[in-house]
Amino acid sequence: MSQPVLIDGAWRPADAVSTFQATNPRTKETLPDEYPISSWKDCETALAAAERAAAVMRTVEPEAIALFLETYADLIEENKDALVQMAHAETGLPVSPRLADGELPRTTGQLRQAAAAAREGSWRQTTIDSKANIRSYLDGIGPVCVFGPNNFPFAFGSISGGDFAAAIAAGNPVIAKANSSHPGVTRLFAEIAQTAAEKTGMPAGIVQLLYRLGHADGERLVADPRVGATGYTGSRSAGLALKAAADKAGKPIYLELSSVNPVVILPGALAERGAAIADEFTGSCLMGAGQFCTNPGMVVLIEGVGSEQLVTALTEKFDAAPAGTLLSAAVERSLGDSLGKLLKAGATSLTSLATGAGQGFSHTNALLQITGEQFLADPETMQTEAFGNASLLVMASSVEQAAAILGHLEGNLTGCIYSATTGEDDNAYALLEPPLRQRVGRLLNDKMPTGVAVSDAMNHGGPYPATGHPGYTAVGLPAAMVRFGMLQCYDNVRPARLPRWLRDKNPTGSAWRRIDGTWSQGDVS
Amino acid sequence: MSQPVLIDGAWRPADAVSTFQATNPRTKETLPDEYPISSWKDCETALAAAERAAAVMRTVEPEAIALFLETYADLIEENKDALVQMAHAETGLPVSPRLADGELPRTTGQLRQAAAAAREGSWRQTTIDSKANIRSYLDGIGPVCVFGPNNFPFAFGSISGGDFAAAIAAGNPVIAKANSSHPGVTRLFAEIAQTAAEKTGMPAGIVQLLYRLGHADGERLVADPRVGATGYTGSRSAGLALKAAADKAGKPIYLELSSVNPVVILPGALAERGAAIADEFTGSCLMGAGQFCTNPGMVVLIEGVGSEQLVTALTEKFDAAPAGTLLSAAVERSLGDSLGKLLKAGATSLTSLATGAGQGFSHTNALLQITGEQFLADPETMQTEAFGNASLLVMASSVEQAAAILGHLEGNLTGCIYSATTGEDDNAYALLEPPLRQRVGRLLNDKMPTGVAVSDAMNHGGPYPATGHPGYTAVGLPAAMVRFGMLQCYDNVRPARLPRWLRDKNPTGSAWRRIDGTWSQGDVS
């Protein structure tokens, strides 16, 4: 008997076409609980409930939604031990500091920030033209489907992470599809969220959970007329299949697919602090076995003594560092495949390459190298993402060649340039920044890209294929909420019929609104 | 010898695969000028120039771009007579008041508003986290392709309209594809814009013009890696082909496709002011031969005496009003086809139906009627847009049936509800507003949807298939500019390397920025 699904406010037996079990990646043992692969019937029931929930949520005040999010965050903290243990078993990620002291507080922090952003209301971009009596703001887009990734069971989890928090805070119910590698964690979150929803009087169906779907049903789900939008984080192939289905139906889908996160390290920086940079890079690239969206998977160097020394230092460090546990057999396989593809295209391996080097699913820390010429001969293949503890060094013959390399990059989440503090790399920076800038969501100086601060100024986004649209961020509130809003305009609508946020009187006493062309915290006068 | 195209700042012979000529819709005469249908080679040259222009424009201050837009607006006014005469010849729209006194001032007003919005900078949504030293804002997305519609040769023209103004103000060059029904107007605008660009020192390639492309080349253009985004207004079939191509390449495309703009007229309103409503509706529906995106193409009524009286009054008015000139043979044909499709599906015609009823391309003013039951039996066919001087009356048996009808609507630009001022329709309004609200971009009370005010609170947008994304508006500044920006984040970037808008010092002395969670017009302290 497989685990029940959460639909319309109740745990009920799934209409399952099959079942699956999770695996402990450190022991490779199958975990005991059986989870259902739902049929379309479960999707249909969930969609109908989500449509009803969305209609109710449009009448719920932001304050009430904020209370739900805060109650949920409190209950997550109360259930911390169970969550951390389950996540450790299903993902192999270390209990401490990663899960207990890093990701869990980040997750509850995000939920509380979302609550604050819902209350504060800036995300709505409220605009009032009192003379024409035209008023507009962003309001909930409708039911949001969330497909979370394997690498952050809490902070990007389908019922706990950034997309979930943003979608709920914008006033939408969520239909979560658990990541198949950690169904147990997602179940615990759903239980806690449902308790929080009941405690705070949210409508049935505000949070629903399906564990797994056939590919065709997933594509049908994101294209359903009742769906408002979808948030997806995961592999490029599965993401593009969902995107094609959603695009065809005209349904917004926000994707985070893949990124090699190029890091350019200029000669002056290496002369000045090469050893420190080698440490920084190794730490950033191998942390969590490199399984981060912003892992630095490609390094662009300019030929010279400093770069040669860096290559030697990195090779030693990669060889010496222990190989971490990968999230699943699929990640292990995919990492091997990607490295194989790069080798076949002509990359040289600086380290030994083998799977099973660490505890459970694992791979040796992998460092490959190519020349700038090799990159330019086949930029598409050379940008193959090797998700895990691996990186590709590209040795350019000159700054000009490095600029050409950057000009061939696909869209990425991040791009970094390390340069000397003395100004000697400034000409190179001026040449390299423009092609890099336009191809990444976040540009860094002298800092590795891992560590995505939950800041309102963060952009965790970027041009395709890093995401599906370069105007949006998946991290950082209130900006991430905008993805789950639709622009609603009221033209000549009678005052009593206006939503509270658009009435003459300021809805909170201090909400920012653009009134007759001027930003104001006041009433319409 | 066909007209030259404007590429990379110069008028040059097109690499033409063929040529075409425009037609005067009032006389059905072919106009003398020959225009080229460009090959891919012209697209390729334009794309290369646009990429260079985009790189320069990223370094141009908003003030300089604003001056270009204002100079352009001034020159348009100086060339008003030529523009109006050419537009009259190519579109058949009346010189006055429509072209000379309505659309032209709207167009120059939009360009000046875009200039002001570029200077003021709110559209950038600048956010600074000074503690983490993370700073983000919207900046130009890259070259923008604009495909303008046939019905507004000035205000939505490819080199003069809302998409053009928004794309330029956001710092992007534009590759314009002229609407094939008015190539001469578009040529005049391109000449004036090029003069303005030269006068104000804008880069070559800021404005480029191609008259027409093969379908495959159009699809290749919007998917090209050098393109930032596309704005398209026109027919659903051509728009969806472009959307599919752009979506597949991960390129944002903003579409305005079609809309029947439902108007619900409740019994209390009819009892109170039925005659006035009949006049308002007739004026809105037949103005400009009904060739507006927000033309009221569908009216939902509740069975009863007032509704019967309205039907009689409207039938008389439609019969009595002169039939206007349609924009082209294609519009005339399409209107006849759409009405035929509705008749075949069971609609009754209340007026006589015939083409050629007015001067040139034309059709009798057409009023069709169906029951609510008929609508619900085939909602898709019954929502066929009959673009022109036509509307479909849907007689619902009850308010509940009207709610069901609204629940089956596709996405629309607008939706209106007329209700009694005395409160007697309030229960019906409460039932009908929620299903309508979620399916339209702009909700109106007691007001017809034609007349899209250029207000910062306007939403000229809505759920698919009215547009491609319900979060964006095509009219209203600064909001319309957001479509042509990409979110750019600077993480730990050295102060001198930051764009001016993100530095500690306020870039204009009064720009609104979110600094450490608070909206401010000050410097970072």
Residues B324-371: tens digit of each pLDDT: 999 999 999 999 999 999 999 999 999 999 999 999 999 999 999 999
| Residue A186: closest CA among A210, A213, A221, A151 | A210
Question: Within an 8 Å CB–CB cutoff, is residue B486 touching chain A?
Answer: yes
Q: Does the pLDDT of residue A143 top 90, yes or no?
A: yes
3-state secondary structure of B491: strand
Would you say B55 and B23 are in contact if contact means Cβ atoms under 8 Å apart? no
The mean pLDDT value of chain A amounts to 97
Shortest CA distance from B451: residue in chain A: A491
Shortest CA distance from A246: residue in chain B: B247
Q: What percent of chain A has pLDDT over 70?
A: 100
Residue B234, min C-alpha distance to chain A (Å):
16
Q: Which two tokens stand for residue A148?
A: 């979370």
CA distance A487 to B472: 7
DSSP code for A38: E
Q: Residue A149's pLDDT is what?
A: 97
DSSP code for A500: G
Residue B457 has its nearest CB partner, among A122, A134, A464, at A134
Amino acid letter for position B150: N
CA distance B502 to B513: 9
Q: How do residues A485-494 score in pLDDT, each as one tens digit?
A: 999 999 999 9
CA distance B405 to B393: 12
Q: Residue B501's pLDDT is what?
A: 97
| Residue B446: closest CA among B490, B413, B415 | B415
Chain A residues in contact with B57 by the CB 8 A cut-off are none
Residue B190, min C-alpha distance to chain A (Å):
28
3-state secondary structure of B170: coil
Give the model's confidence band at A448: pLDDT under 50 very low, under 70 low, under 90 confident, else very high.
Answer: very high
Bridge partners of A419? none
Q: How do residues B157-170 score in pLDDT, each as one tens digit?
A: 999 999 999 999 99
Q: How do residues A13-43 score in pLDDT, each as one tens digit?
A: 999 999 999 999 999 999 999 999 999 999 9
CB contact under 8 A, B437 and A488: yes
Residue A293: active-site member: yes
Q: Which two tokens stand for residue A502?
A: 């658009």
CB contact under 8 A, A444 and B493: yes
Tell me the fold of A5-9+34-257+471-482.
Answer: Aldehyde Dehydrogenase; Chain A, domain 1 (3.40.605)
Q: How do residues B136-147 score in pLDDT, each as one tens digit?
A: 999 999 999 999
CB contact under 8 A, B471 and A497: no
B178 φ/ψ sector (left φ>0, alpha ψ -120 to 50, else beta): beta
B9 φ/ψ sector (left φ>0, alpha ψ -120 to 50, else beta): left
Give the model's confidence band at B188: pLDDT under 50 very low, under 70 low, under 90 confident, else very high.
Answer: very high
Residue A423: exposure state from Cβ atoms within 10 A (0-12, 13-18, ≥19) = exposed
- Strand B10-12 vs strand B5-7: parallel, antiparallel, or unpaired? antiparallel
Q: Does the pLDDT of residue B1 top 90, yes or no?
A: no
In this prediction, residues A138-148 reach a mean pLDDT of: 98
Residue B453 has its nearest CB partner, among A128, A134, A468, at A134
Q: How do residues B250-280 score in pLDDT, each as one tens digit?
A: 999 999 998 999 999 999 999 999 999 999 9
Strand residues in A421-515 grouped as ranges (E):
440-445, 485-491, 513-515
Phi, psi torsion values for B204, nearest 5 degrees: -55, 140
Question: Within an 8 Å CB–CB cutoff, is residue B424 touching chain A?
Answer: no
Question: Within an 8 Å CB–CB cutoff, is residue B351 touching chain A?
Answer: no
Question: Within an 8 Å CB–CB cutoff, is residue B432 touching chain A?
Answer: no
CA distance A72 to B369: 52
Compute the count of residue pairs across chains A and B with CB atoms less than 8 Å apart.
194
| Mutation site for A-interface testing, chosen from B138, B240, B459, B481 by largest number of A Cβ within 10 Å | B459
CB proximity list for A140: less than 8 A, separation 6 or greater: A54, A57, A58, A170, A171, A172, A228, A484, A485, A486
CA distance B261 to B410: 10
Residue A373: active-site member: no
The correct answer on CATH 3.30.465.10 for the domain covering B262-445 is no
Q: Does the pLDDT of residue B428 top 90, yes or no?
A: yes
CB proximity list for A461: less than 8 A, separation 6 or greater: A256, A413, A441, A467, A469, A470, A471, A472, A473, A474, B487
Q: Does the pLDDT of residue A498 top 90, yes or no?
A: yes
Q: Residue A289's pLDDT is what?
A: 95
| Mutation site for B-interface testing, chosen from A487, A490, A524 by largest number of B Cβ within 10 Å | A487
Q: For the beta carbon of residue A346, count every other beta carbon within 10 angstroms.
A: 16
What residues of B are annotated to the active site? 256, 293
Q: Residue A100's pLDDT is what?
A: 97
Q: Residue B451's pLDDT is what?
A: 87
In this prediction, residues A438-454 reach a mean pLDDT of: 95
Q: Residue A439's pLDDT is what?
A: 97
Residue B59: exposure state from Cβ atoms within 10 A (0-12, 13-18, ≥19) = exposed
| Mutation site for B-interface testing, chosen from A409, A472, A488 by largest number of B Cβ within 10 Å | A488
CA distance A69 to A118: 10
Residue B185, min C-alpha distance to chain A (Å):
31
0.90 exceeded by pTM? yes
Shortest CA distance from B517: residue in chain A: A456
Q: Does the pLDDT of residue A451 top 90, yes or no?
A: no
Q: Residue B422's pLDDT is what?
A: 95
Shortest CA distance from A442: residue in chain B: B489
Q: Residue B258's pLDDT is what?
A: 87
Amino acid letter for position B271: A
Shortest CA distance from B55: residue in chain A: A434
ipTM for the whole complex: 0.97
Q: Does the pLDDT of residue A1 top 90, yes or no?
A: no
Residue A55 has its nearest CB partner, among B122, B141, B434, at B434
Give the model's confidence band at A258: pLDDT under 50 very low, under 70 low, under 90 confident, else very high.
Answer: confident
Chain A residues in contact with B456 by the CB 8 A cut-off are 127, 129, 514, 517
Domain boundaries, chain A: 5-9+34-257+471-482, 262-445
